[in-house]
Amino acid sequence: MTQPMSPENDAAGHALPHGVLSRRRLLQCAGLGLLAAGAPRVARAAAEAPIVQLRSGRVRGVRDGASFVFKGIPYGADTATSRFAPPQREPAWRGIREATQSGLACPQLNASEPTGEDCLSLNVWTPGLGDRAKRPILVYIHGGAFSTGSGSDPLYDGRRLSRRGDVVVVTVNHRLNAFGYLFLAQLGDAGLAQSGNAGQLDLIAALHWVREHAEAFGGDAGNVTVFGQSGGGAKIATLMAMPAARGLFHRAWTMSGQQVTAAGPRAATQRAQRYLEALGVGPDQLARVKQLPSAALVGALRVRDPSRVEDTALYLGPVLDGQALPRHPFWPDAPPQGAQIPMVVGNTRDETRAFLGNDARHFTLDWDALPALLERQQFVDLPTKGVIDEYRRLYPRYTPSEVFFAATTAGRSWRGAVETLEARARQGAPTWAYQLDWYDRDGPHASRRAFHTLDIPLVFDNVGQPGAATGDGPGARAMAAAMADALLAFARHGDPRHPGLADWSPYTLERRQTMVFDDASRLEDDPRGGERRLYAQAPFLQRGTQ
């Protein structure tokens, strides 16, 4: 909530939004010595730019047409001085802090934007300020597999979604990789008991900030929807099992991102030991790790993961630590604390074309080359010949490359969604499923079809943004309208149905109802049921948690 303030009026005598300072009030404060030198300049800027009182000081954003935009607002203190520890509240500041540029991203490999450990910040888009309109609040949690990314990608720009639905949109930066998920609890420092979930605790701190400031930004603290893609969806699934997150959000929408199990303490400790070896630090030297330059911590992330399932860089993600995360997110059942939270679980039809489609050879496979490649890439321990034979039976017209992309999608990207949907259905929790089949058939990305991340610009109604692989044609705009309006309906009412969609009923084990988004969107019962049954023959293993 904003701090109490006297009512303000504009030059015409109309009441200004609660929490926003008028130019006259700024000048009055300046005359009383309450503002620093240079107040007239600040006052002139305030006539064009909104200023909002927050718990730690005032911030100035920008007016962008019908929207107010604030970027880089801190919701926590610089983590450099409390590395691996739970987040601390941001320090207060004097004067007016500019909130016009996105904050730093967490240090990470191959960063494409400025990074630093002072990375606990968020961005806000809203149609109104302090007007008590009680708009739904949508908090987007970015992907990047717990290791990379930020909330500042152009595809996450919240202007169009905010205007389209008269909602408040928030994106968040938080700690990632070793800074947010390095489990050091069993290596001798009791103060680091929750280090394996520090990044999750950052998100909880951000949600507390959102609840506290909902009214200032025209939002409803009692109606917060979290939505996220890939790693963002996995972070949301994890939050649903964290007691400290209870009550901070009221709806959840995940896109190609599930977290059925977390890393166990033994596996997480083994990874921490391997990481410390790469740093050249012994387990008895944790104090030294807190003092190393952040660049050294980033460089050590290149160490290979000990898992034999896949040869990748070190996996660092949520940890079953018995404190911050006392249970697996969706195993052996759905978390009881989320039973009343409506949830949408979605995926794209051709997920793995996003990352396995980077190799042109994967599009020209023959039946002789397919078995060995699929053995390495499906991440499920089933007889490869049997998998190929079943796909050829299910889809007689598929080429070897089509079998490859379909099988890897079903084996390693889709199964977490199925596990989550089944757990929620057994719980009787309100849950909807979708599958994105649509893609721009005439665009430059047509060979990748409905690949991983394609739904991001659609739900944000950002098909015209740089980096959107949807194209900006009539088909893309129609699909964006269908998906964005579903998200907005879900945020407002807890149900994704809207007049532009066919009836979308909740998911049940009997029918497995799934909304298939395409040029002609439709509700299907158990789409790809044959593939689901094929991979159900093997136990589900969450990638990176063994």
For residue range 380-424, list pLDDT tens digits in order. Answer: 999 999 999 999 999 999 999 999 999 999 998 899 999 999 999
Instruction: State the average pLDDT over residues 152-177.
Output: 97
Q: What pLDDT is recorded for position 286?
A: 87
Task: Please state the rounded mean pLDDT for residues 184-197.
Answer: 90
Does residue 349 sit in helix, strand or coil? Answer: coil
Q: List the helix and strand counts (H, then E) for the chain.
A: 16, 14
Contact criterion met (CB below 8 Å) for 359 and 268? no
Amino acid 87: pLDDT? 98
The label of the residue with tokens 């860089």 reads 313
Q: Are 67 and 127 in contact (CB under 8 A)?
A: yes
Cα distances (Å, whole numbers) of residue 342 to 19, 132, 200, 417, 543: 32, 25, 21, 15, 26
Q: Would you name the residues annotated as active-site residues?
A: 230, 351, 452
Task: Give the pLDDT band of residue 308 (cuts 50, 70, 90).
Answer: low
248 token code pair: 């901070």
Q: What is the predicted pLDDT for the residue at 250?
A: 98
Query: Which of 69-73, 313-317, 323-327, 452-456 is least confident?
Result: 313-317
**Looking up tokens 């596990």, which residue turns up?**
419
- Given a cut of 70, whether residue 11 has pLDDT beyond it is no
Strands 57-60 and 51-54: antiparallel
DSSP state of 215: G
pLDDT of 35 strictly over 60:
no
Give the model's confidence band at 17: pLDDT under 50 very low, under 70 low, under 90 confident, else very high. very low
Q: What share of the chain in percent tops pLDDT 90?
A: 84
Share of the chain residues as helix, strand and coil, in percent rounded to the nearest 5? 35, 15, 45
Query: How many Cα atoms within 13 Å fall on the side-chain side of residue 139?
Result: 29
pLDDT over threshold 50, residue 28? no
Poorest-pLDDT segment among 88-92, 93-97, 273-277, 538-542: 538-542
| 285 secondary structure, DSSP code | G
CA 450 and chain centroid, separation: 19
Distance between CA atoms of residues 216 and 135, nearest Å: 11
pLDDT of 309:
59
Q: What angle separates helix 370-377 from helix 384-394, to the nearest 10 degrees?
A: 110
Average pLDDT for 485-511: 96
pLDDT at 345: 98
Q: Whole-angstrom Cα distance, residue 278 to residue 287? A: 16
pLDDT at 294 over 50: yes
φ and ψ at residue 494, rounded to 5 degrees: 75, 20
Give the range among 37-46, 341-350, 395-404 with minimum mean pLDDT.
37-46
Does pLDDT of 352 surpass 70?
yes
Mean pLDDT over the full length of the chain: 90
pLDDT interval class at 310 (50, 70, 90): low
pLDDT level of residue 543 (50, 70, 90 thresholds): confident
CA angle 87, 205, 157 (to 5 degrees): 115
CB 182 within 8 A of CB 112: no
pLDDT at 24 over 60: no
53-77+89-337 fold: Rossmann fold (3.40.50)
Count Cβ neighbours within 10 Å for each residue of 58-87 and write b for 16 or more, e otherwise.
bbbbeeeeebbbbbbbbbbbbbeebbbbbb
The residue count for the chain: 546
Handedness of CA 300, 306, 312, 318 (dihedral sign): negative
Whether the per-residue pLDDT at 282 is higher than 90: the answer is: no
Please, where in the chain does CATH 3.40.50.1820 lie? 53-77+89-337
Nearest to 18 by CA among 221, 224, 159, 219: 219
355 has pLDDT over 60: yes
CB atoms within 10 A of CB 285: 15
Model confidence at 112: pLDDT above 70 = yes
- List the single range of 134-143, 187-196, 255-264, 387-396 with lowest mean pLDDT: 187-196
